[in-house]
Amino acid sequence: MKQLTLSQALEGYVLFAEPKLSPHTLQDYFNTFRKFQSFLGEDLLINDINVEHIAGFISQYQHLKKKTLRNYHTGLSALWTWAFQQNLVDEKIPQTYQPPRADEIAIVPYSEADIKAMLASCQKRKPYLLPGQRETATDFPEGPRLKTSLLLLLDTGIRASEYCGLKIKDVDLRNRNIMVMGKGRKERQIPISSRTAQALWSYFSTRPDMLINSPAFATVNDTHINRDNFLKSIYRLGERAGVQGPTIHRFRHTFAINYLRNGGDIYTLQRILGHSTLDMVKRYLSIAQVDIQAAHRRASPVTNWGL
């Protein structure tokens, strides 16, 4: 068995992980590794690191969200799984430690009114009043891109990282589908509606110099949109529209729940969303079924006729 220090093992893991993981996942993992190295204070042999080290590292962040602690555990588990496969460690140490159970976050989809308000806010900036003039609102330069983005997010349920990574070559308007790179570097094809395809065509027509490898959604410099900046722009748009708690992930929730409400099945939804298991899809299904039961109570002739 090779005797490598943690830093040496990390050098090897970089070479293994870079082609397989998304930039966002890599960033999260290496943020965890840097914090773990700082916690250890010295460059130990990776095979000398034990469960007490793992527990001590995670316990010092108890003030953070449980989901964040589980993400730290996931990053360390991925490293040790690779190290075990490479015969660098005797066992997968992080997997012997039980991380805190993540809090179950409520799923709150957007309403139809929320979506319409945000789409309307893509047209004009927030109205303002100049001295001696009537209230006015100027055009919003990012409006066409944001409006098209909202339609695509709502129509497909893709993740923020998948949206930011889209290229022109990934968008097939004729056959109305897009190809995204999901978690684990797994590609999947997702259908889009005719209305969304029309919006994409209209947005692309404003960029006559784009190439096949150009970003599908680009900055003014024709570069890929930064994920964090996109999150902020959606938040600002939602606030301007008067929508409570606007996030990109709520579009994913909204798509999934309405897909099931309108007759879609959980297995095709799982493929569209790129989930490896049905666990999350079943949560969407439970919400959709509650809606169906409530609608039945309102519409049942037995109930309404007092039979």
Query: For the segment 247-284, what is each residue's pLDDT rounded down to a tens digit?
Result: 999 999 999 999 998 888 899 999 999 988 888 898 88
The pLDDT, as a whole number, for residue 30 is 93
Catalytic residues: 159, 183, 249, 252, 275, 284
Q: Dig out the tokens for 240 from the structure.
A: 């301007």
Number of other residues whose CB lies within 10 A of the CB of residue 30: 15
The closest alpha carbon to 198, from 263, 248, 148, 138, belongs to: 148
Confidence of residue 233 (pLDDT cuts 50, 70, 90): very high
Of residues 218 and 296, more confidence is placed in: 218
Q: Is the pLDDT of residue 158 over 50?
A: yes
Q: Report the pLDDT averaged over residues 214-235.
A: 90
Q: Is the pLDDT of residue 6 over 90?
A: yes
What distances in angstroms separate CA 32 from CA 50, 73, 77, 301, 303, one per listed residue?
17, 9, 11, 58, 56
Confidence of residue 138 (pLDDT cuts 50, 70, 90): very low
Confidence of residue 241 (pLDDT cuts 50, 70, 90): very high
The pLDDT, as a whole number, for residue 77 is 95
Asked if 216 and 179 count as a contact pair (C-beta separation under 8 A), the reply is: no
Q: Is the pLDDT of residue 64 over 60?
A: yes
Of residues 240 and 295, more confidence is placed in: 240
Asked if 118 and 238 count as a contact pair (C-beta separation under 8 A), the reply is: yes
Topology (CATH level 3) of domain 6-96: DNA polymerase; domain 1 (1.10.150)
Q: Is the pLDDT of residue 137 over 50?
A: no
112-262: CATH number: 1.10.443.10
Q: Report the pLDDT averaged over residues 94-111.
A: 85
> Which string of b and e fits 35-54 if b means at least 16 CB within 10 Å?
ebbeeeeeeeebbebeeebb
The pLDDT, as a whole number, for residue 63 is 87
The DSSP element (H or E) to which 177 belongs, if any, is strand 177-181
Confidence of residue 128 (pLDDT cuts 50, 70, 90): very low
The pLDDT, as a whole number, for residue 101 is 80
Please state which of the ranges 45-49, 140-144, 302-306 shows the lowest mean pLDDT: 302-306
The pLDDT, as a whole number, for residue 136 is 45
The DSSP element (H or E) to which 232 belongs, if any, is helix 227-241
Q: Is the pLDDT of residue 81 over 90?
A: yes
Of residues 297 and 193, more confidence is placed in: 193
Averaged confidence pLDDT in the chain:
88
Domain boundaries, the chain: 6-96, 112-262
Please state which of the ranges 40-44, 69-73, 219-223 shows the lowest mean pLDDT: 219-223
pLDDT in tens, 21-51: 888 888 899 999 999 999 999 999 999 999 9
The pLDDT, as a whole number, for residue 133 is 57
Range of 96-105, 140-149, 288-297 with top mean pLDDT: 140-149
